[in-house]
A = this chain, B = another copy of it.
Amino acid sequence: MSVRSELLKGILNGCVLAIIEKETVYGYELSAKLQKVGLDDVSEGTIYPVLLRLQKNNWIVGEMRASESGPRRKYYTLTADGEEALELIRSEWGKLAVPVTALLKGEVEHGDH
């Protein structure tokens, strides 16, 4: 398994929620959105399980709508629980990302031998 995949773990939930919060999207288009944001190579085999998970947690709801061209699409919207979860993720990410970045850059003094 790639380094990248490991780092992604647990982050994807928040990314998907953040995108859905801003605009209603359907699954197939999410990989394009994520790519645009800088997260390349997030395939359908990853996206759809994420969406199922979020639905199961009652964080998003899906609604089937017809498309002008092509198959029907399942559009997702954030629930109140989803908003709450996203806020929690934002908070936890903030508490993690800063110290981890500093640690990886070697900017942290953790001496005391």
Chain A residues with a Cβ under 8 A of chain B = 3-11, 13-15, 18-19, 21-23, 33, 36-39, 85, 88-90, 92-93, 95-106, 108, 110-111, 113
Contacts and interface: CB of A to CB of B under 8 A. Distances in A.
A100 B104 contact: no
Work out how many copies of this chain go into the complex.
Answer: 2
Nearest to A36: B110
B93 A37 contact: no
Decide if the interface of chain A is mainly helix, strand, loop or mixed.
helix
B103 A15 contact: yes
Contact of A37 (B13, B89, B92, B110): B110
Nearest to A9: B9
Given A14-B100, A93-B100, 15 more contacts: A4-B96, A7-B89, A7-B92, A8-B96, A9-B10, A19-B103, A23-B111, A23-B113, A37-B103, A37-B108, A38-B95, A38-B99, A89-B104, A90-B104, A93-B104
